[in-house]
Amino acid sequence: MRTWTFAKGHGTKNDFVIVADRNNLVPVSEDDVRFLCDRRGGVGGDGLLRVTLASSIPEWNGEPGLWFMDYRNADGSIAEMCGNGLRVFVRYLLEEDLAAGERIEVATRAGLRSAWPQADGSIRTSMGAVTLVDDEVTIVHAGHSWPATKVDVGNPHAVAFLDEQDGEPLALGALELFHAPAWSPSEVFPQGVNVEFVEVVTDDHVRMRVFERGSGETLSCGTGTVAVAAAHLARQGRSEGQVRVDVPGGTLHIEITDGDAFITGPAVVVAHGQVQLPEPDTR
Ligand SMILES: N[C@@H](CCC[C@H](N)C(=O)O)C(=O)O
């Protein structure tokens, strides 16, 4: 039996198990991640955030004195970036006195990201460049089809805007039945994809639901809100602007600029504890 210390946090109810392993000494298997994220058999979360020094990560070849956000989806898969996870990661660093200051830099698989804790308790983060890919894709499932825009936010997204023909916006019961493989055909998204369904409120305000690669439907996806904001502005012929994005778990404020994107939103650590991981042959 392995006993690990963990914390639990969330950003707009996109929730994460947080495990610190300063020198990256304790291996974490896909089974371990699935166990930790299991809402009935484990701690429960949409993903795992491992806090480790960038200098201990062989794939990181940037500045060494930073903390590295090692993010895993609930199914154990590795993702390049997690927008909500980044704010929660920074909240954890602050609370554990592992970082301080007006600007905190974090190493991630998608590169260096910055965070600015705000006076109101929210955290603003940089998300890097957003790329809208020209070729439109079609998401097809159970008799419905939606044109979608491919957006890269360090990780892959397909953004579909709903209209009247879809019935009551964002209340399509059928969405509950979706599974990621149904709308991530391997020839279009060989690495899988996160899919956002969007209802437009105004030119600067949208609502969305998201089905995340490796986690299923979640109550929020930070990179997804950035993808949606960029696609929403592009439909208006704009490449920059600010968009309020409502997700089932709350609201995030997105700013798209030339060459960077920013998320401002809440991030909290809600629990600390110890968890006993089963040995591989006793799961
Ligand atoms: N919830 C995250 C995104 C997590 C990774 C995603 N599921 C993927 O596989 O790309 C966010 O807040 O951005």
Separation between Cα atoms, residue 129 and residue 58, nearest integer Å = 24
Q: Which atom of ligand 1 is nearest to the CA of 221?
A: 12
Tally the C-alpha atoms within 13 A of residue 164's C-alpha that lie toward its C-beta.
0
What single-letter DSSP state applies at residue 78? B
Separation between Cα atoms, residue 152 and residue 132, nearest integer Å = 6
- Looking at residue 202, what is its pLDDT? 95
- Looking at residue 10, what is its pLDDT? 98
Active-site residue, from 18, 48, 110, 221? 221
Separation between Cα atoms, residue 190 and residue 92, nearest integer Å = 33
- Looking at residue 86, what is its pLDDT? 98
| Residue 70 φ/ψ, nearest 5 degrees | -95, 100
Q: For the chain, list residues with pLDDT below 50.
A: 168-174, 176-182, 184
Question: In sequence order, which residues have a C-beta less than 8 Å from that of residue 41 and are 6 or more positions away?
Answer: 35
Paired tokens of 107: 């190493």
For the question of residue 37 being annotated catalytic, the response is: no
Alpha helices in 165-262 (DSSP H): 222-235
pLDDT in tens, 156-203: 999 988 875 555 444 444 454 444 444 545 567 778 889 898 989 999
Question: In sequence order, which residues have a C-beta less than 8 Å from that of residue 2 and are 6 or more positions away?
Answer: 276, 277, 279
Residue among 50, 40, 41 at smallest CA distance from 17? 50
Annotated binding site for substrate: 14, 73, 83-84, 155, 194, 212-213, 222-223
Separation between Cα atoms, residue 8 and residue 18, nearest integer Å = 6
Separation between Cα atoms, residue 160 and residue 230, nearest integer Å = 12
Verdict on whether the full-model pTM lies above 0.90 = yes
Separation between Cα atoms, residue 173 and residue 55, nearest integer Å = 46
Q: Looking at this predicted complex, what is its ipTM? A: 0.99
Ligand 1 and 212: CB distance under 6 A? yes
Q: Cβ atoms within 10 A of the Cβ of 172, count?
A: 17
Residue among 19, 16, 22, 24 at smallest CA distance from 4? 19
Ligand 1 and 126: CB distance under 6 A? no
Residue among 181, 182, 246 at smallest CA distance from 219? 246
- Looking at residue 164, what is its pLDDT? 56
Q: Which atom of ligand 1 is nearest to the CA of 226?
A: 13
Alpha-carbon distance values, 204 to 17, 150, 271, 279 (Å): 33, 20, 35, 50
Ligand 1 and 225: CB distance under 6 A? no
Residue 247 Cα to ligand 1 middle (Å): 14
Give the strand pairing for 194-202 and 156-161: parallel
- Looking at residue 280, what is its pLDDT? 79
